[in-house]
Structure 1
């Protein structure tokens, strides 16, 4: 088992990020789908009575997706895995501002493989002072769990205890200064070059750029992965965590640089977009060429 907590600071409010994330997931899914690979959405519906984070959250939106992979896994896995086994299932319970995602491979690895991604979206200090509605709604989580909402310095956002707390490695992600792979770089998704026409935010320049931003928030993303395959466990678990860091970095660069696309959208707009995207993904997956991120 390998446990890492990725911390992503963004120049957004927590409320803005809810729309931004869902918009960007829909768009990124289309960018990763084609030629027999990509994302298949099976369910996207409300859920209730599913306790999360010590039962602080229990209702929200449930999604069930299948990721059809081939080129997106390392070559040594493709050689070992039988035909049809490279399908990854994802279940997500989005009880915003908390979300839990479980990724598995029930058709082949069964209990031998799983990834759990738990995310807490925390506001910066200024948001609490200037947003009494958020403070009232999330009083318990802000005061008892977050203690002092900050910019990526919360010690134990996910309330880990025992061995898991000892195992956890904290990995900050700086969407402006962290390097990205040449194959992933796009000039229009570079936070050091983007300035929002709608909000005036950006570009994000210099070290600790977040100290000059208002608003600001942090995504605390706890990733626990387990791959029970003798001789490959450590190698694959490291690969998975490296992929997650790459995905989180690229995705949140897009979230920021796509701001003028999603800013001003409502949740009703997002649900309509998700319905339309599902139809497009079903068509794209059957035609064209493989698209998006590939394993090296």
Structure 2
């Protein structure tokens, strides 16, 4: 049997944004405003009051090293699948960074997502307000994403931090939250092979790990007992621990919006990692040099696609 997972807890967490001891981002858009942010997050000067924190755990049948390539490949593909009709992703910068002993890849993207938010948010957002600047520091195996919105400012933030670890979801509190924060956070396991975790509107047979078989690696399909089988096989494995902090401070909408965002983050993480596994044969033999060339090509494609055709990709339903 698999080692026991940490028990899920649920409560709206309180206090300042956590400063970790040591992402590419975890969703189509993560929204955050943090004053005086440093690479190590040693100088967070804002107090946001009530926030909602959840840790999403995604067990995957690949190694930590494989996932680094697979994640970047899948981010590029997902970006193209969600760009068109005047909306989508615009890449401004994608370059190496080094700061205070931390080094990795820095990206700055703009997300144009007006039609991808529910109507109850569109009602309060004037034209041009639903444009977000995402800044991500990918110091793999640790990643962090910060996104700002000029209109909502401190009233609206999401922060996503991810640790990728060689385990089966058994690491307790991998982000080093304080005992009080960890007690109030909710742990949410995601099973990429569980059809019941996928919205009907999102389901595609070609992106179903319960059906997919990798010709290059022999992995899949993932049956109901795939986690137990993974534990007893020679197949590589790892867990992505994605800590999501959500805050929204508009009177009368706070709880509704924060819960809606977490629902969408879980949906994004589930769909993305199902795709990542089912695209395994497309990326498993790629190198990081291949990925960087692909990212440059994708950046050019996105610039063309954004202003052509109709809106593409996942849309948010109502809560």
SS in 2 for 1:115: strand
Structure 2: segments with no counterpart, 5+ residues: 1-50
Structure 1 runs of 4+ aligned residues shifted over 6 Å read none
Distance in 1, Cα, partners of 2:87 & 2:278? 26
Q: Tell me how far 1:102 sits from its aligned partner.
A: 1.1
For residues 47-66 of structure 1, the aligned pairs below 5 Å read 47-50=97-100, 58-66=102-110
Partner of 1:77: 121
Q: Tell me how far 1:80 sits from its aligned partner.
A: 1.1
Q: Tell me how far 1:111 sits from its aligned partner.
A: 1.4
For residues 15-34 of structure 1, the aligned pairs below 5 Å read 15-34=65-84
Q: Tell me how far 1:212 sits from its aligned partner.
A: 4.4
Counterpart check, 1:175 vs 2:192: yes
Counterpart check, 1:217 vs 2:238: yes
Q: Tell me how far 1:103 sits from its aligned partner.
A: 2.2
Partner of 2:3: none
Q: What do the CA deviations read for 1:109-131 (whole angstroms, capped 9, x no partner)?
A: 011111110000001xxxxxxxx
For residues 132-143 of structure 1, the aligned pairs below 5 Å read none
How many residues were matched structurally?
Answer: 263
Partner of 2:208: 190
Counterpart check, 1:2 vs 2:52: yes
Q: Tell me how far 1:179 sits from its aligned partner.
A: 2.3
Alpha carbons 1:93, 1:99 under 8 Å: kept: yes
Distance in 2, Cα, partners of 1:254 & 1:292? 14
Q: 112, 123, 144: which one pairs with 2:155?
A: 112
Identify the range of structure 1 (207-216 vs 276-285) with the bigger mean alpha-carbon deviation. Answer: 207-216
Alpha carbons 1:104, 1:115 under 8 Å: kept: no
Counterpart check, 1:98 vs 2:148: no
Give the direction of change, closer, same or farther, for the CA distance of 1:290–1:202 in structure 2 (3 Å limit). Answer: same
Partner of 1:274: 295
State the TM-score, normalizing by the size of structure 1: 0.87
Distance in 1, Cα, partners of 2:100 & 2:79? 26
Distance in 2, Cα, partners of 1:30 & 1:50? 34
Q: 26, 31, 39: which one pairs with 2:89?
A: 39
Distance in 1, Cα, partners of 2:213 & 2:93? 36
Alpha carbons 2:95, 2:105 under 8 Å: kept: yes
Q: What do the CA deviations read for 1:132-180 (whole angstroms, capped 9, x no partner)?
A: xxxxxxxxxxxxxxxxxx3012111001104322221000000001421
Alpha carbons 2:197, 2:270 under 8 Å: kept: no
Distance in 1, Cα, partners of 2:307 & 2:78? 17
Q: 131, 145, 165: which one pairs with 1:87?
A: 131
Distance in 2, Cα, partners of 1:236 & 1:103? 17
Structure 1: segments with no counterpart, 5+ residues: 52-57, 124-149
SS in 1 for 2:146: strand
Distance in 2, Cα, partners of 1:50 & 1:185? 43
Partner of 1:133: none
Distance in 1, Cα, partners of 2:225 & 2:175? 27
Q: Tell me how far 1:181 sits from its aligned partner.
A: 1.0
Partner of 1:237: 258
Partner of 2:30: none
Q: Tell me how far 1:228 sits from its aligned partner.
A: 1.2
SS in 2 for 1:48: strand
Distance in 2, Cα, partners of 1:236 & 1:34? 26
Q: What do the CA deviations read for 1:6-64 (whole angstroms, capped 9, x no partner)?
A: 0000000000000000000000000000000100111101111156xxxxxx1100001
